[in-house]
Amino acid sequence: MSKVIWAPWRMEFIEGKSPGFEGCVFCHHRDLSRDEFSRFHVFDSNNNTLVILNKYPYTNAHLLIIPHSHVSNLEDLDRVEYINLALILKKTIVQVKKAINPQGLNVGMNLGASAGAGIADHLHYHIVPRWEGDNNFMPVIGSTRVMPQYLNETYEKLLPFLQDICSLD
């Protein structure tokens, strides 16, 4: 018996559809009101940093930590922006561990298109939770990733842990 793997949210990405607004998707998310956060899977934002669920995740609960400044180079962030980004990255890692208990994490940046950055003009950190066996033959043989949970469900599960993550209290 064959099984069907559903990932309907990826069709927009595959077809290269516009997100419905002009400009940088991260800058758009930065300007959202709190009432719009859940629609775009935004957890929190402050004057310098934004925390969102990756719309095209590598694994379940793949998060992005994004500075508000639209820069592609880490060295272009000022001291306050850099420190804020680092502090929120650290806090988010702590909360992700509490929320979903991953066995490991990949954390990093892809700076520049040749380094794998999908949105090279606006730097951002990736937090990718990992579990033993979370990656199998599907990406290699079938060019397909298997996501165990819909994005909305992942967002709702993480929200209590991340909704005020950008406060530096």
pLDDT in tens, 131-148: 887 665 444 444 555 556
**What Å distances lie between residue 6 and 20, 74, 144, 147, 166, CA to CA?**
24, 37, 10, 9, 33
Rg (CA), the chain: 16
Q: What angle do CA 143, 147, 149 make, to 5 degrees?
A: 165
pLDDT for 52 beyond 70: yes
pLDDT for 68 beyond 70: yes
Q: What is the pTM of this model?
A: 0.81
Query: What average pLDDT does range 162-166 have in this prediction?
Result: 93
Domain 8-162 adopts which CATH fold?
A: HIT family, subunit A (3.30.428)
Catalytic residue ranges: 124
